[in-house]
Amino acid sequence: DMLDWANAIGRPPDTGPIGTDASGRVVFTEGPHAGRVVGEQPVHLAWMEKARLRRDGAWQWRFDEPVRRWIRRWLDVRGSGRATGNPKSVHADDWGLDSCIAVDPALGIA
């Protein structure tokens, strides 16, 4: 899908043990790390992607496919260093035209 193609993480699935808290942070909603930010527990995320349970004589995934796909994307993007945070804050003082876009009207460049 588009998230995989774009190497983007996206929102966590509604069905899983991962969600957003009141402040919008992605956290574990259940389990031993409930309430903690997922970025602080990458080893647990890697375990969740591979975790299986033995039921009725067969191995089954502990977490459903949408959760595992989201975790896989999170680990791929965050673990690769591609998703570094923006150094600019949300304040207007930190934003302006990049030097390659900003032009000087005195030079007659429009």
In the block, tokens 């460049």 appear at: 109
Diameter of the chain measured on Cα atoms? 78
Buried residues in 49-70 as b, exposed as e (16+ CB within 10 A): beeeeeeeeeeeebbeeebbbb
In tens digits, the chain (110 residues) has pLDDT values of 677 777 778 889 988 899 999 988 999 999 999 999 999 999 999 999 999 999 999 999 999 999 999 999 999 888 766 555 556 555 666 655 555 555 556 666 55
DSSP class per residue in 61-105: ESS-HHHHHHHHHHHHHHHHT-SPPPSS-SSGGG----TTT---G
